[in-house]
Each structure stands twice: as structure tokens, then as C-alpha cells.
Amino acid sequence: MTTYRLANEKVAVFAFEVSVLETGQRAIAKLLQNIDGVSNVSVREPFSSSNALVKFTYQNVDFVVFEPFGDNSRYWIGPLQTYTDYVDISCIEQNFRCASSNKLLSFLARLFG
């Protein structure tokens, strides 16, 4: 799967994005559940007003998966709050990059794409 890294001078990867067409929120949650160190993975309930599609914890920091502006072409995966010292999530990003996009294609992507 293609990932788009967000980094700074202190941390290799503090957030990243993945294509909406390559995956869906349930597939993201399933992948996160299989990564060492990730806990408390929860998927947004249908018809919820929350912007967070998936929430999870990594190294005692809360992270979120959301779609900026509600109609973006990518899901943003990163910390729930802004920090001065970000947690390096390059191992999570690596798991997404190595995941087979064929297995993670969302229903709409398979239908239209």
C-alpha cells in the first residue's frame, strides 16, 4: 500500500496518509490490531458525529485515523493532539506500506476502481 509520510527534524515519521481507494476504516483497524505496541483500537460507529474513523493508542499516546474535510482522497493517521515531542510511528507506517492493498481494498474501490 502506498503511504505518504509526515516527518520533522526530531522524528522520522509522526503521521502518515494512505489512499482512501486502497483501504477502508475496518481494514485499517484490523491491520492496527495486529501491530505490536498498538492497543485500544476502536472503529467509529455508523452515523456517529465523530470525525475520528479509528482511534488507537501507541506508546501511551492516543492516535486517530480521519479523513480531512470529510471528502479527501487520503486518510490521515497521526496523533490526536499536537505535541512538542512526537512519537515515532515509522514501524506502524512500515506495516501499512507492506500490507497488500489487494487484501485491504474497500468495497467501493473494488466496485468502482
**66-108 per-position pLDDT tens digit:** 888 767 788 999 998 877 678 899 999 999 988 865 544 555 5
How high is the pLDDT of residue 105?
A: 52
Residue 113 pLDDT class (50, 70, 90 cuts)? very low
Domain that holds residue 77: 3-106
Count: domains in the chain: 1
**Is 27 within a domain?**
yes
Q: What is the pLDDT of residue 54?
A: 94
Question: What does the pLDDT look like over 4-61, one tens digit per residue?
Answer: 888 888 788 889 999 887 788 888 999 999 999 999 999 988 777 777 889 999 999 9
In a domain, 51, yes or no: yes
Residue 113 lies in a domain: no
Whether 19 is covered by a domain: the verdict is: yes
pLDDT for 110 beyond 60 = no
Q: What is the pLDDT of residue 106?
A: 52
Q: Is residue 79 part of a domain?
A: yes
> Within a domain: residue 112?
no
* Alpha carbon distances (Å) from 9 to 32, 61, 79, 83, 91: 26, 20, 17, 14, 18
Q: Which residues have C-beta within 8 Å of that of residue 40, sequence separation ≥ 6?
A: 55, 56, 57
Question: Is 111 within the bounds of a domain?
Answer: no
The closest of 85, 82, 77 to 23, measured between CA atoms, is 77
